[in-house]
Amino acid sequence: MRMKLKIRNAVDNAEISAEVDDSDSVNDVLVFASEYWKEQNYALVMKVGNKLIQPNLLISDLGLKDGDTVVIVPDPQGG
């Protein structure tokens, strides 16, 4: 199932939207965001609420709904 997610960059609060499939991985979203913001995707992690999300999980694993916001932050472990 396709859905639109809002992706917010925690560094500068910039926000983009992306259409994703629930079969896409978190890493797919990180790659998309890193290309948009010209960052190295291995240096970024995704947060949903206060929880850091593993890049190998699928969007369907996260229980996200159309229009939800995820946050991209620099990897606290240094990537």
Structure-block tokens of residue 5: 């997610």
Q: pTM score, two decimals? A: 0.90
Q: What is the pLDDT of residue 42?
A: 72
Q: What is the pLDDT of residue 53?
A: 95
Residue 34 belongs to domain with CATH number = 3.10.20.90
Residue 61 located in a structural domain: yes
**Other C-beta atoms lying within 10 Å of the C-beta of residue 54:** 12
List C-alpha distances in Å: 62 to 29, 37, 44, 46.
13, 23, 18, 11
Tell me what the mean pLDDT of segment 17-41 comes to. 92
Residue 14 located in a structural domain: yes
Residue 13 located in a structural domain: yes
Residue 57 located in a structural domain: yes
Residue 56 located in a structural domain: yes
Half-sphere exposure of 63 (CA within 13 A, CB side): 2
68 pLDDT above the threshold of 70: yes
Domain that holds residue 66: 2-74
Tell me how many domains the chain contains: 1
Residue 79 located in a structural domain: no
